[in-house]
Amino acid sequence: MVMITTSAVLPQLRPPPCPTQENCQEASNKQLSVLYAALLLTSLGTGGLRPCVVTFAADQFDMSKMKTESGSWNFFNWYYFCMGVASLLALTVVVYIQDNVSWAWGLGIPTIAVGLSVVVFILGSSLYKKIKPGGSIYESRARNPVGVTCLQRMGIGFGINIFATIASALIEIKRKAVAADNNLLDKPTSIIPISVFWLVPQYYLHGLAEVFMSVGHLEFLYDQSPESMRSTAAALFWIATAMGNYMSTFMVTLVHKYTGEKRNWLPDRNLNRGRLENYYWLMTGIQVINLIYYVICAWFYKYKPINVISETGISDEDVESANNTKPLSSNDAKEDKQVELVRT
């Protein structure tokens, strides 16, 4: 973050401004190397932070007892809520500062925020619960088996996302119809007289699907993975997200290649003459296939065994084994004493 901010502040590390947007000077190899190095460090830092922060923060809660008032499950909801708020601030407040104030402040504010978070994290290190790797004495942490499971919530998220892309296709058809009625199809820079609130349904459904899918996914990975591999399991969440982004880019490339220049679904200059709704229909079909495949996998999935732990901290299996233990006979007691003497 410091390198990115520095590249925006120092004129030597960025190309000169180009107000006319014509014959602009390109960035030099030195400037690009600084930028790429900063982006690489950002990716490495994010890759090391995101998988660990979920499991580390979840370990701060008492997860050894099955309590309805336990904050363990609420943590995942609050975690993703904070992620959403951070993204909202980054895409609104920070972008506004970058466009209307300066890129130096627009990049400097996130850098300062990251620095403060590191300081706060270090100051609170003495208060953290540091669980040693290797697993607990129990096979798995106790959880409430009643209610909607993680796999069910993920399936609900997949289903809602299908309706979101359907809504996106229908709204795009509506937008182009309004543009055609006002003779604006060949005027890509003109404002189409349609309310922006037509976008609310699709974004609402996308957000709702994200809540069900992402939170359920995080809880599933944390709950079903071995305790010594929870950070690795959390990393799978972000790997899946990254792979989805790459696949989306690859899909756009294929659409550009096979739809041709004249009937391109996603034209670069005039989206009014494109077929964006067809792209949404394509995504809908892919999501339907993905949902069917997911339902098949979820149907045959078996949750790992759960040891329900009482308020005293003793699992039901421990109580059952204690009840089934027979008292030692005198001969058994003598043999145990002899074995103990040999050990000493």
Q: What is the mean pLDDT of each run of 10 residues along the chain (344 residues)?
A: 85 79 78 85 79 74 50 68 84 88 87 89 82 49 57 91 94 91 84 88 90 84 78 80 87 85 79 88 94 93 63 42 43 45 40
Identify the three-state secondary structure at position 183. coil
Which pLDDT score, from 0 to 100, does residue 291 have?
94
Cβ neighbour number for residue 67 with a 10 Å cutoff: 14
What residue has token string 């071995």? 226
Give the Cα separation of 1 and 210 in Å (integer): 28
Distance CA(296)–CA(192), nearest Å, equals 44
CA nearest to 212, candidates 76, 58, 89: 76
Cα distance between residue 236 and residue 212, in whole Å: 18
Both structure tokens of 164 = 């979101």
As a whole number of Å, the CA-based R_g of the chain is: 28
Q: Closest by alpha carbon to 27, among 35, 102, 19? A: 35
* Encoded tokens for 102: 């300066």
Which of 102, 145, 117, 104 is CA-nearest to residue 53? 117
| Six token digits for residue 321 | 């084994």
CB 144 within 8 A of CB 63: no
For the chain, domain boundaries = 1-16+26-146, 149-302
Beta strands in 53-106 (DSSP E): none
For residue 215, what pLDDT is reported? 81
- Provide CB contacts within 8 A for 343, sequence distance 6+: none
Q: Give residue 167's Cα distance to chain centre.
A: 23
